[in-house]
Structure 1
Amino acid sequence: MGLSSDEGSRFADMLQEHEETVVSSWTDGITASLRGRLSHAELHRQTLELQKAFQTALSGGAQEISDDAAAELRALLSELSTTRARQGFTATETAVSVFALKEAVLKVLGDDEQALRAYVAFSAFVDRAGLFTFDSYTRAREELIADQAEQLLELSTPVVKLWEGVVAVPLVGTLDSARAQVVMERLLQTLVDTGSPYAIIDITGVPAVDTQVAQHILKTVVAARLMGADCIISGIRPQIAQTIVALGIEFGDIATKSSLADALRHVLRKTGDRVSQKSPRREG
């Protein structure tokens, strides 16, 4: 059952008349649930803003949290949810910050029977606001996790310049479809930016190579070749070599080396470059 206009106006007036009492009681309730992880002053500021937003929504005739009169309230609740999600609070802790309003209002309500009946509708309105907060928190948290996963994915697939005209992609961990796509995009962009004709894909840190991983690597090599770059695969350990043979995976004419150093020497031989190794001088 939604709030009637008269009931909404009554609770709006009540929130205004007992503003400081309600806000203080509301803040104390939230402080207890959050166990001191936010300062009392910060919580008091947040609850005061929310109290005014509830007051505006109710005085404007809002019967549901989705009504136009509750637009400001929804904006504040969304902001609260996003902030709490980033601060590491749980969805329950965030929603409780809204539900605590009911107890604070009940303390100043009195024992008037009509007011108590209206409180049921008011309580349902606060419940819907709490559920809106819960849903907003969930969306904010999912977006935050997705952003963090994307950042970790980019950090886990660096493309480094080893030599003039030679770049390398050191892969560490499992290579799935999403990560393979990032590897390909970053490698191709680096080839464009540096104009490098050679790329080394180092799989020393890949724990196992199966058919799917091999297909991802081969697609990356083909894409690099279309950009005019020759690829060398390094990090072919004995166990991985045996697995590749057992699976019947064919790398064709793609050069493979056991280590990144061997791959770099292979490229330098093809380009005619030499790495000078100077013996340490002995002092007589």
Structure 2
Amino acid sequence: MPVRHIHTILDNERDFLLKAWGSTQAEEGLIRKDLFSEREARAHIELVFDALSQGVAVSVKHDMLDPEADCWDDLRAVLAKITRERTKRGVSTGEMAAFVLALKYPLFERLRATVNDTNGEVLIEAINQFTRLIDAAALYTTELCISDRDKTIQRQQDEMMELASPVVELWDRIVAVPLVGTLDSMRAQEVMENTLSAIVEKKADIVIIDITGVVTVDTQVAQHLIRTAAAVRLMGAEAIISGISPRIAQTMVQLGVDTGEVRTRSSLRMALADAFRQLDTDVVARKPV
């Protein structure tokens, strides 16, 4: 009964194993005193150990440590809580996995010292089963870390996309879309959606798409701009592309890009002046009192 031997050791030698587990972590540099107090580190070890012991106790009757079994739900919940808490404070994915794996060695020592079988089959099976279980637990923490990291990256990308594609109300019925950096297909779609929404929300008649800060204008970027301008017209507004420098103008001619009916201006200032003329609006400097 390999699992019974594991259960007996976990149950009878809890204090010894907790201390040995902590010592193993210290030897491997996993005790992050810069991130956790000793009491917090001890609490994490105890939570994982006790959830593990409960799962092993349930598994005794089947004499099998099946990592996919329902009896490990509490262990998975504890690992999820501790993993997120530790990674938020700066523990790496590798350190989190090593934190779990460090329990192997003290338990193996106690198994070798207490399991008496002539040919070693029981000891080997106990070590194999516990190894499979702990490896699965360590892999679970790794998957959690990667999943949380991917979610963080996606959230940051979404936030950056929003910041990179703002729509600014310059004047009554005039909005501007200042573009900075690189304009790829995904961002172009975001720009178009934000722009069309702003036309409705701001009741805009003129949309100025300013590309002064765009790094490179190639055929793909030009097509994105023209499609956005066409969508603006379909919404009943007029589009003006500003920030057309001599270099960009030359590049667009060389590429054979036809802006069609889209108005273009060299600067945002000129585009705004053009927008005022279209709206028959005069802006007059106030005389000093």
- What TM bracket, shorter-length normalisation? 0.7 to 0.9
Q: How far apart are 1:28 and its partner, in Å?
A: 4.4
Q: How far apart are 1:107 and its partner, in Å?
A: 5.4
Q: Alignment partner of 1:143: what SS?
A: helix
In structure 2, the CA distance between the partners of 1:237 and 1:83, relative to structure 1 (3 Å rule), is: farther
- Number of the residue aligned with 1:11: 6
Letter in 2 for 1:53: A
Q: Alignment partner of 1:111: what SS?
A: helix
Q: How far apart are 1:178 and its partner, in Å?
A: 1.0
- Number of the residue aligned with 1:95: 97
Of the candidates 137, 140, 143, which is equivalent to residue 132 of structure 1? 140
In structure 2, the CA distance between the partners of 1:28 and 1:152, relative to structure 1 (3 Å rule), is: farther
In structure 2, stretches of 5+ residues that fail to align are 117-121
Q: What's the CA shift string for 1:74-93, capped at 9, x where partnerless?
A: 22323344444444433211
Matches of residues 238-257 of structure 1 in structure 2 within 5 Å? 238-257=246-265
- Number of the residue aligned with 2:280: 272
- Number of the residue aligned with 1:33: 30
TM-score with structure 2 length normalisation?
Answer: 0.86
Matches of residues 227-246 of structure 1 in structure 2 within 5 Å? 227-246=235-254
Q: 2-side partners of 1:111 and 1:124: how far apart?
A: 21
Q: Alignment partner of 1:33: what SS?
A: coil
In structure 1, stretches of 5+ residues that fail to align are 1-5
Of the candidates 168, 181, 192, which is equivalent to residue 173 of structure 1? 181
- Number of the residue aligned with 1:218: 226
Matches of residues 114-193 of structure 1 in structure 2 within 5 Å? 114=116, 116-117=123-124, 118-193=126-201
In structure 2, the CA distance between the partners of 1:257 and 1:143, relative to structure 1 (3 Å rule), is: same
* RMSD over aligned Cα atoms: 2.3
Q: How far apart are 1:95 and its partner, in Å?
A: 0.6
Over the matched positions of the two proteins, sequence identity in percent amounts to 37
Q: What's the CA shift string for 1:132-163, capped at 9, x where partnerless?
A: 22223222222221222122111211111111
In structure 2, the CA distance between the partners of 1:47 and 1:154, relative to structure 1 (3 Å rule), is: same
Q: Alignment partner of 1:200: what SS?
A: strand
Q: 2-side partners of 1:157 and 1:262: how far apart?
A: 21
Deviates more, 1:162-171 or 1:71-80: 71-80
- Number of the residue aligned with 1:205: 213
Letter in 2 for 1:38: L
Letter in 2 for 1:18: E
Q: 2-side partners of 1:154 and 1:23: how far apart?
A: 48
Q: Alignment partner of 2:176: what SS?
A: strand
Deviates more, 1:185-194 or 1:35-44: 35-44
Deviates more, 1:234-243 or 1:183-192: 183-192
Letter in 1 for 2:162: E
Of the candidates 42, 45, 48, which is equivalent to residue 44 of structure 1? 42
Q: Alignment partner of 1:219: what SS?
A: helix
**Is the Cα contact below 8 Å between 1:15 and 1:55 reproduced in 2?**
yes
**Is the Cα contact below 8 Å between 1:200 and 1:231 reproduced in 2?**
yes
Q: Alignment partner of 1:251: what SS?
A: coil
Q: 2-side partners of 1:36 and 1:134: how far apart?
A: 22
Letter in 2 for 1:221: A
In structure 2, the CA distance between the partners of 1:264 and 1:27, relative to structure 1 (3 Å rule), is: farther
Matches of residues 77-88 of structure 1 in structure 2 within 5 Å? 77-88=79-90
Q: 1-side partners of 2:147 and 2:18: how far apart?
A: 28
Q: 1-side partners of 2:50 and 2:146: how far apart?
A: 25
Q: How far apart are 1:266 and its partner, in Å?
A: 0.8
- Number of the residue aligned with 2:51: 53
